[in-house]
């Protein structure tokens, strides 16, 4: 079942940056990774998925419903982190998670259990009473990911989730993401760490200059070489 579909989605900024004519589908139970160089359009594409930007052309659908007609309660099935974690500096880890859970539609009586479970899953026990402003960048990132994943969304959208994480954090997040997908969630994750996406993704899509330029086999050898070949060929075709 298709959980997320972009059809001809275009959003361009002054100067020509952005994404153009992007088609993309993510089905329930699969992890799709979006890789590309810096400025390729990964974050813009994810922003379109979350409604942070509206497409100038084409459409974005969640569960078969265009975003502009998606009822508010349907967003309870979505968990996302784009760029900055939802972590308020003046609040401690547990309070940040509790507020995020409430905002994602978790009933008040279940919040404590939901927070306890994700604290355990992402090993955040040491940080429940620590204010976010006192956390390291990596721990704040992990807190934000916990906020995005704790309500077990059916669609997960993560932008560079392993940025700033230490090796143990990377493993914890990878396992948490894989667990959600194995339970039936559709996951779209952007990254520029090819080794990392190869470990977690079922499909790898390559974006360059705002367009989908190809796919990579997550189990293929020489992933890096294949990636640069795609980027190089795309640059040549645009130049000619």
Partner 1 sequence: MTAPAAAGQRALTGLRTALVVESVKARASLVLRSTSVLLVVGVCVLSAAMVAAVRAGRTDVTRKLGPTVATGDWDAFLSVATQVTGAAAVLATGVALAWLVGREFSDGTVGGLFGLPVTRGVIASAKVLVYLGWAAGLGVVLPCALLAAGLACGLGAPDAPVLAGLARIGLLVLLSACVAVPAALAATLGRGLLPGVATTVGVVAVAQVGATLGAGTWFPLTAPALWAIAPGTVPAAALATAPLLALAVAALTVLAWRRLQLDR
Kindly list the residues in this chain that would bind partner 1 in the complex (CB under 8 A).
Answer: 13, 47, 50-54, 71-76, 78, 80-91, 95, 99-100, 102-105, 144, 147, 157
Closest approach of partner 1 to the CB of residue 61, in Å: 14
Q: Rounded to the nearest whole angstrom, what is the least distance from the CB of residue 78 to partner 1 in the complex?
A: 5
Give the 3-state secondary structure of the chain. CEEEEEEEEEEECCCCCEEEEEEEEEECCCEEEEECCCCCCHHHHHHHHHCCCCCCEEEEEECCEEHHHCCHHHHHHEEEECCCCCCCCCCEHHHHHHHHHHHCCCCHHHHHHHHHHHHHHCCCHHHCCCEHHHCCHHHHHHHHHHHHHCCCCCEEEEECCCCCCCHHHHHHHHHHHHHHHHCCCEEEEEECCHHHHHHHCCEEEEEECCEEEEEECCCCCCHHHHHHHHHHHHHHHHHC
Q: Which is nearer to partner 1, 47 or 152 (CB)?
A: 47
Q: Which is nearer to partner 1, 69 or 219 (CB)?
A: 69
* Residue of 156, 123, 159 whose CA lies nearest to 142: 123
The nearest distance, CB 187 to partner 1, in angstroms, is 14
Query: Which of residues 104 and 152 has its CB atom nearest to partner 1 in the complex?
Result: 104
Q: Give the chain's length.
A: 240
Nearest-approach distance from CB 21 to partner 1, in angstroms: 19
Structure tokens at 167: 């090796």
- Comparison of 31 and 86: residue with beta carbon closer to partner 1: 86
The C-alpha atoms of residue 32 and residue 225 are separated, in whole angstroms, by 20
Nearer to partner 1, 33 or 106 (CB): 106
Select 68 or 224, whichever has its Cβ closest to partner 1. 68
The nearest distance, CB 222 to partner 1, in angstroms, is 35
Closest separation in Å from C-beta 92 to partner 1: 9
């Amino acid at each position: 079942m298709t959980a997320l579909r972009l059809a001809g989605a275009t959003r361009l900024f002054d100067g020509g940056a952005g994404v153009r004519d992007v088609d993309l589908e993510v089905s329930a139970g699969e992890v799709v990774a979006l890789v590309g160089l810096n400025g390729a359009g990964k974050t813009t594409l994810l922003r379109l998925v979350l409604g942070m930007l509206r497409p100038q052309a084409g459409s974005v659908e969640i569960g078969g419903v265009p975003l502009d007609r998606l009822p508010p309660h349907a967003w309870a099935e979505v968990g996302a982190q784009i760029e900055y974690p939802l972590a308020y500096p003046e609040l401690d880890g547990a309070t940040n998670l509790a507020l995020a859970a409430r905002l994602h539609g978790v009933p008040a009586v279940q919040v404590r259990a939901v927070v306890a479970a994700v604290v355990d899953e992402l090993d955040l026990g040491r940080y429940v009473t620590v204010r976010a402003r006192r956390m390291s960048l990596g721990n704040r990132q992990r807190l934000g990911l916990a906020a995005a994943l704790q309500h077990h969304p059916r669609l997960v959208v993560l932008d560079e989730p392993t940025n700033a994480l230490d090796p143990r954090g990377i493993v914890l997040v990878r396992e948490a993401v894989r667990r959600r997908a194995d339970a039936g969630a559709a996951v779209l994750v952007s990254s520029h760490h090819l080794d990392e996406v190869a470990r977690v993704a079922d499909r790898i899509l390559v974006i360059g200059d705002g367009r989908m330029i190809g796919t990579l086999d997550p189990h293929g050898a020489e992933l890096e070489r294949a990636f640069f070949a795609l980027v190089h060929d795309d640059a040549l075709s645009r130049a000619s």
